[in-house]
Chains A and B, each alone.
Chain A
Amino acid sequence: AQKITQTQPGMFVQEKEAVTLDCTYDTSDPSYGLFWYKQPSSGEMIFLIYQGSYDQQNATEGRYSLNFQKARKSANLVISASQLGDSAMYFCAMREVNSGYSTLTFGKGTMLLVSP
């Protein structure tokens, strides 16, 4: 069963508008972490934002905010005031802890295209 689901293969947004990228997750572990990464065409995964399962408030980092709805198991990324440089693949990931080590499980990603 897929642990991270990103249902939007692609999203289009106009410059300066806000956009929401969806992510749902599945885990029975009460302690987990959720990450969003940006991957431009160069390939490097760029960390954007983190939300811990026990965090009371939604995470924010500049223009990025995470809409964390624990009961629904969703962790949507909101990008405000989109810029042309935001065009990239975006991945949602969950940190899992297995027998003393932690790994990231990624979704399939959403391609975001920002138009002028």
Chain B
Amino acid sequence: ETGVTQSPTHLIKTRGQQVTLRCSSQSGHNTVSWYQQALGQGPQFIFQYYREEENGRGNFPPRFSGLQFPNYSSELNVNALELDDSALYLCASSGLAANSYNEQFFGPGTRLTVL
């Protein structure tokens, strides 16, 4: 069983640029959630995709957008990068059949630095 993978592992961008982060969900999982973890904080929910549709969103501006593909992999896009976007971005996959409590399995994260 392949776990959740994310790419790239590290990324450096400048203010105003755009970035795309990628996530491959665990085999058999149809739901992907994205979280932002700023330094010294717990992860914060950005949004969730289920069967290629966004079905939930946290308190993040529209310049944070995403996609989910038919194979359930996902992308997180951030436009007009700001310094405060510097964080660890975590992807988590889950599936209705995974567990009764819908456990989320996390990837290793992408560390984004905005200069």
Q: Do A and B bind each other?
A: yes
Interface pair B42/A101, CB less than 8 Å apart: no
A103 adjacent to B107 (CB under 8 Å): no
| Interfacial residues of chain A within 84-113, with CB under 8 A of chain B in the complex | 91, 93, 95, 98-109
**Known interface pairs A100-B55, A103-B33; A43-B88 also in contact (CB < 8 Å):** yes
- In the complex, which of the residues B56, B92, B109 contacts A43, with contact meaning CB atoms closer than 8 Å? B109
Task: Say whether A101 contacts B56, CB under 8 Å.
Answer: yes
Q: Is B106 in contact with chain A by the CB < 8 A criterion?
A: yes
* Closest residue on chain B to residue A96 by CB atoms: B45
CB-nearest residue of chain B to A108: B42
Contact B101 A44 (CB under 8 A): no
Place the interface of chain A in its size category. Answer: 20 to 34
B48 within 8 A of A: yes
A43 to B104, CA, bound (A): 15
Closest chain A residue to B99 by CB distance?
Answer: A50
Bound-state Cα–Cα, A107 to B40, Å: 11
Which B residues touch A44, using CB under 8 A? Answer: 106-109
Contact A103–B102 (Cβ < 8 Å): no
**Interface residue ranges, B against A (CB under 8 Å):** 33, 35, 40-45, 48, 50, 55-56, 58, 88, 90, 92, 101-109, 111
Which A residues lie at the B interface, using CB under 8 A?
4, 33, 35, 37, 42-47, 50, 52, 91, 93, 95, 98-109
Apart from A44-B106, A47-B105, 9 more pairs, CB < 8 Å: A4-B42, A43-B90, A44-B108, A45-B90, A45-B106, A46-B106, A91-B42, A101-B55, A103-B56
Closest 10 pairs (CB-CB, A-B)? A106-B42, A101-B56, A45-B106, A43-B109, A44-B108, A103-B45, A101-B55, A33-B101, A106-B43, A108-B42
